Structure 1
Amino acid sequence: MLKVADLHVYYGNVHALKGISMEVRQGEVVTLIGANGAGKSSLLKAISGLVRPKEGSITYEGEDLTRLAPDKIVSRGIAHVPEGRRIFTNLSVMENLMVGAYQRKDKRQLKHDYEEVFTLFPILQARAEQMAGTLSGGEQQMLALSRAILSKPKLIILDEPSLGLAPVMVDTVFDVIEKIRKNGITILLVEQNAHLALEASERAYVMETGEIKISGSSRTLLQDNKVVEAYLG
């Protein structure tokens, strides 16, 4: 579904991604783990068109996305939930959801999808007219996830969905991630809680200083001594 081949990204003279190659197959949950500064978010941003690689390619369903604008990438069926959620704090909950659906023309199905996200997150329906900036961190993450779902993606990219959340809210978010997967949406996940990320995924890549050092099934990596020592404690 998604293939990244020999990707290099620079920020000025800083070589952030050094020849990254990886893939995500349809229907999978694939996770990227690694320390802060390993390049995980840079890889996600490159896939979404938010940063431009200097070398390499990004292919999605057979189409080269490497030079495509972010809005065109969204229209291909890729939604990105960024670190820090990045909701529009000065808009209402409902207006944020409408932004997620702005490219859609299927009004009847869209109405059904609004109902679906309100079923996943009833609190959002109760606060539909509330300004998004007044929501708690957990509620903002619910809103960010719902906004992505409403773009009707085939692939959702999640960057640190549990960051800053209370444990009970982390459980809620990962329950929803599992429901999203069961609905047939493919997921590429970056998550600070490596154990939780590996438990929630089929395959994983371990990144260090802009390179992939280890890859394999999540079950295997959960039992890999090097991974356990470095990331799982």
Structure 2
Amino acid sequence: MLKVENLQVNYGNVNALKGVSLHIEQGEVVTLIGSNGAGKSTLLKTISGLIRPKSGSITFQGEDITRLSPDVIVARGIAHVPEGRRIFTNMTVMENLKIGAYQRRDKDQLKADYEEVFSLFPILRDRAEQMAGTLSGGEQQMLALSRALLSKPKLLLLDEPSLGLAPVMVDTVFDVIDQVRKSGITILLVEQNAHLALESSKRAYVLETGEIKLSGDSQALMEDSRIVEAYLG
């Protein structure tokens, strides 16, 4: 479904990604782990068109999307839930959700999909007319995830969905991620909680200083002494 080949990204003189290659098959949950500054968020932003690479290619469902704009990439079926949620704090919950669905024209199905996200996160129905900036961190993460789902993605990019959340809210968010997977949406997950990330995925890549250092079956990596020492403690 997604193939990244020899991707290089620079920030000025800093080489943030140094020839990264990975692939994701339809229906998989693939996780990307690594320390702060490894290039994980940069990779997701490049896939979603927010950053232009110096070289390399990104292919999605057989189409080269490397140079497409973010809005076109969303229309192709890739949704990005960024680190820090990035909701529109001065707009209501419902207005944020409508932005997620702004490209859609299937009004009848859209009504059903609003109901679907409200069934996943009932608190958002109660908060529909509330300003998004007044939500708790966990509620904001629910909103960011729901906004992405309303674009009807085929591939969902999740950047640190557990960051800053209370343990009970982390469980809620990852329960929903599992439901999303079961619905057939493919997921690329960036998550600093390596144990949770590996438990939630089929395969994993380890990114360090802009390079893929390890990859393989998530369960096998959980038992790899290098991963245990570096990330699982």
Confirm or deny a common fold (TM above 0.5): yes
Equivalent residues, number: 233
User: What's 1:223 paired with?
Assistant: 223
The alignment yields a C-alpha RMSD, in angstroms, of 0.3
Matched letter for residue 136 of structure 1:
S
Matched letter for residue 169 of structure 1:
M
Aligned residue for 2:119, secondary structure, equals helix
User: What's 1:62 paired with?
Assistant: 62
1:193-212 equivalent positions in 2, closer than 5 A:
193-212=193-212
Matched letter for residue 142 of structure 2:
M
Among the aligned pairs, what percent are the same residue? 79
User: What's 1:85 paired with?
Assistant: 85
Matched letter for residue 217 of structure 1:
D
Cα distance, 1:102 vs. partner?
Answer: 0.2
User: What's 1:33 paired with?
Assistant: 33
Cα distance, 1:154 vs. partner?
Answer: 0.3
Cα distance, 1:225 vs. partner?
Answer: 0.4
Aligned residue for 1:84, secondary structure, equals coil
1:157-176 equivalent positions in 2, closer than 5 A:
157-176=157-176
1:110-125 equivalent positions in 2, closer than 5 A:
110-125=110-125
Unaligned runs of 5+ in 2: none
Cα distance, 1:97 vs. partner?
Answer: 0.2
User: What's 2:186 paired with?
Assistant: 186
Aligned residue for 1:59, secondary structure, equals strand
Q: Distance in 2 between matches of 1:171 and 1:181?
A: 15
Matched letter for residue 172 of structure 2:
T
Matched letter for residue 21 of structure 2:
S
Cα distance, 1:213 vs. partner?
Answer: 0.2
Cα distance, 1:81 vs. partner?
Answer: 0.1
Q: What do the CA deviations read for 1:71-95 (whole angstroms, capped 9, x no partner)?
A: 0000000000000000000000000
Using the size of structure 1 for normalisation, the TM-score is: 1.00
Matched letter for residue 54 of structure 2:
K
Cα distance, 1:163 vs. partner?
Answer: 0.2
Cα distance, 1:128 vs. partner?
Answer: 0.2
Aligned residue for 2:41, secondary structure, equals helix
Q: What do the CA deviations read for 1:126-170 (whole angstroms, capped 9, x no partner)?
A: 010000000000000000000000000000000000000000000
Cα distance, 1:58 vs. partner?
Answer: 0.2
Unaligned runs of 5+ in 1: none
Q: Distance in 2 between matches of 1:228 and 1:4?
A: 27
Cα distance, 1:47 vs. partner?
Answer: 0.1
Q: Distance in 1 between matches of 2:106 and 2:205?
A: 36
Q: Distance in 2 between matches of 1:58 and 1:21?
A: 9
Q: Distance in 1 between matches of 2:17 and 2:127?
A: 40
Cα distance, 1:220 vs. partner?
Answer: 0.5
